Amino acid sequence: MFPQYKLWLSNTLRSLQTEFLHLILLLFATALLCLSANVFAQDVNLDDGWEYAWGDSPFDSDGVPLWTKNDQLVDWQPIAFPSDPPARGAHHNVWFRITLPQHVYRDPVFYTSSIDLLAEAYLDGKLIYKHGQLDQDGAGIFAGWPWHMVILPENFAGQTLYFRVYSNYINIGFWGERKLAERVDVLKQITKESLQGLIVAGVTIFIALMAAIFAMLKGQRRQFMNVCLFSLAAAGLVLGDIPAMKLVWDQPLLWNYIGAYAYFLLPIPMFMLLAEWLSDAGLEVRHFQWLWRAHLVFLLVAAIGSVFGVLHLTQLYPAFDGMFIVSLFLLVVSVLLVFKRVRLEQKLLILAYFGFCAVMMLDMAVAHNWISWSSIPVSSGALLFSVAIIGLSFNHYLSTQRRLAKLNISLESEVIERTEQLSAIAKQEALRANGLLFQQEKLEMVSDVIFDLESCHTLEVGIEKIANRIEALCVPFSGVFSMAVPDGWKRVHCWGYEIDSPSFDNTALTKAKFNNEQGIFPFRIMNQQGTVRYVALLQVHATEMLNGYPIEHFMKLLKRAVEKINITLANIALREELQRFSYEDELTGLKNRRFFSEVMEHEIAVAEQNQSPLSLLICDIDYFKTFNDTYGHPAGDAALKTLAALLEQFFHDGNIVCRLGGEEFVVVIPKVKGEDCLQKAEQLRGAVEKTQIQYEGYLLENITISIGISSWPELTPDPRQLFQQTDSALYQAKENGRNCIRLAEK
């Protein structure tokens, strides 16, 4: 184990050394490019002349897209900006093309800021660039949002450049710049755009280290840890957006995930900081805590979902942006209501926060094409906010330390006073301890009684268990437990000295008024119609205070105990009542599988005794999962109800229709042969095929069913094999194309 660890550590160090060397070379190249003069051809923005076509091109045997060879195969439409063409519908594939202008370059490239999501570039029918891996259906897995540099041949002028784009994201196509340029100019641009981000990332990481050092001191640890967490998140956000990181390590998806999760993390320390600072002003900050907790849940769900491949960045960004906008709106409203009440440093914090939020909102607007593309200085905003936070936090830390020094002096005297008060309280609590222990023992007994009752299947057994346990709950006081009978009360159990039983006649039994203060507690149940029925009665006679526990408190405890037991008794009575309805399917109103199993045994016995035929029909909705996925489960329920109604219409007069479960139904047909069932089954199949499903005023597509039929003794020698043979016939019907009927084979 130890040698393997050393090998892993050695390989990791070598990889870090290599990446560090790349970073040094990148910075050196950046300096040279920034100092050198631009002696190459000027960049040409490709803002005009774009065309698009929805769908995906077929390919010939050599792998050449036919759309790049024949313009007649597709209707190309002009578009001002090669992104989000009209009438997208359910399309995930689109092609863009542009005729390259007449310009001379030494090392020509096509550069664009980003493409949603995967793309391939073709020139003269040849694949010259691809981002991500597209399968034979033109789809693929998200591979990140990097910039793209397509290397062109020297004779590119006048040729048409085609882009094959796939996106299951809300946007599809290009984003940001699109231009022709020299490769060295593009690299120079990328490195220039990255300088500021590298500096900001370094500064924010330094600020995070400073905040971590301050957090190690005695005071303001939570506040400085929030600053550290925010600075690290800001650094991750900046690193994920630095274009040159693709040159250091060509893993755009990794950098996108770093930037994305840093982006999702940012609101958490921001909301925590506001809650920390505004709580010092005596303001209510629970809504701030709910905000950062909600964002923390989102971050955890996003991280777990992406690790297991359930969620992708293309799904997470819109959801986070919507959540952040709602959180920001609630926060703005809350903060504006208290803005005049906070101190100057807190106002500065709020203004700095709103400034950074404004920058983030602009970046969201550009990302979602709400405004035209432009470079938003998110990194600069994060840096300024971090600097403001660390300055205000440090000032707040110093002022807090001064206040703490003053408070320590007054606290010593308050501690002495508070100690005396606590001693007095301790004496009072000691007097109550015995009473509380007595109460706790009784409450545990109540829990035990309720636990025993939960296993009872009948009300009679439940009352018997109460009678066996009630004395332990009431001792050391005397009592009587009576059961309600048609002509009054029947004494079941008594303890202590004699207590007279209640006397109520049959008519007054349910109208009796019981006095809990005098120790009379009724056990009653209420049915669904609201009718109250008394089933037992407890009488307790308490004469003195016991263990410091007042009698009136004990009576209230018994009252609550009896009320809890009454709820359990009501549940037992309800279970008894529900047992009667356990044979019915709630959705369709048909009998369920449990009923089918029992009735099938009965019908088999009758058929064998009378030597009369017995047939079985099983039907199943074809492609029901697809129907549910298309229209939703409520529409699927409507389809099940429609089929159930048709089954009851076609099969009656001694036939038994049951729902086996899901979309599968069975019909038990006594005294009918299989061949005789075939005609009625065909009528049912035709009626189902012609019946339209209605749901919320709309007519949905028709459903079809597959049917299997078997009969005893015509098709099987053993009636207990009827279900298996019928199910096999249904399987054959599905295998033979569905929407058909099959008789079981002998």
**Tokens 């709630």, located at residue:** 586
Dihedral sign, Cα of residue 436, residue 440, residue 442, residue 446: positive
State the DSSP string of 402-441.
HHHHHHHHHHHHHHHHHHHHHHHHHHHHHHHHHHHHHHHH
> Under a CB-based contact definition with an 8 Å cutoff, are residues 114 and 176 in contact?
yes
What is the three-class DSSP state of 306? helix
> Under a CB-based contact definition with an 8 Å cutoff, are residues 130 and 89 in contact?
no
> Under a CB-based contact definition with an 8 Å cutoff, are residues 238 and 382 in contact?
yes
> Under a CB-based contact definition with an 8 Å cutoff, are residues 200 and 382 in contact?
yes
Whole-number Å distance between alpha carbons of 434 and 430: 8
Helices 593-610/722-735 angle, 10° precision:
120
Six token digits for residue 396? 């707040």
CA of residue 22 relative to chain centroid, distance: 41
**Would residue 260 be called left, alpha or beta, if left means φ above 0 and alpha means ψ between -120 and 50 degrees?**
alpha
What is the three-class DSSP state of 96? strand
> Under a CB-based contact definition with an 8 Å cutoff, are residues 109 and 44 in contact?
no
Is 663 considered catalytic here?
yes
> Under a CB-based contact definition with an 8 Å cutoff, are residues 311 and 317 in contact?
no
Q: Which amino acid is at 154?
A: E
Whole-number Å distance between alpha carbons of 492 and 481: 6
> Under a CB-based contact definition with an 8 Å cutoff, are residues 641 and 657 in contact?
no
- DSSP letter for 75, please: -
Whole-number Å distance between alpha carbons of 239 and 633: 45
**Element holding 743 (H helix, E strand):** strand 741-743
Q: Which amino acid is at 235?
A: A
CA-to-CA dists, residue 3 to 9, 177, 319, 323, 421, angstroms: 10, 51, 46, 48, 64
Whole-number Å distance between alpha carbons of 270 and 389: 10
Q: Which amino acid is at 384?
A: L
Length of the chain: 746
Among the options 51, 177, 182, 663, which is catalytic? Answer: 663
Cβ of 714: how many Cβ atoms within 10 Å? 16
| Cα 8-9-11 angle, rounded to 5 deg | 65
Catalytic residues: 663
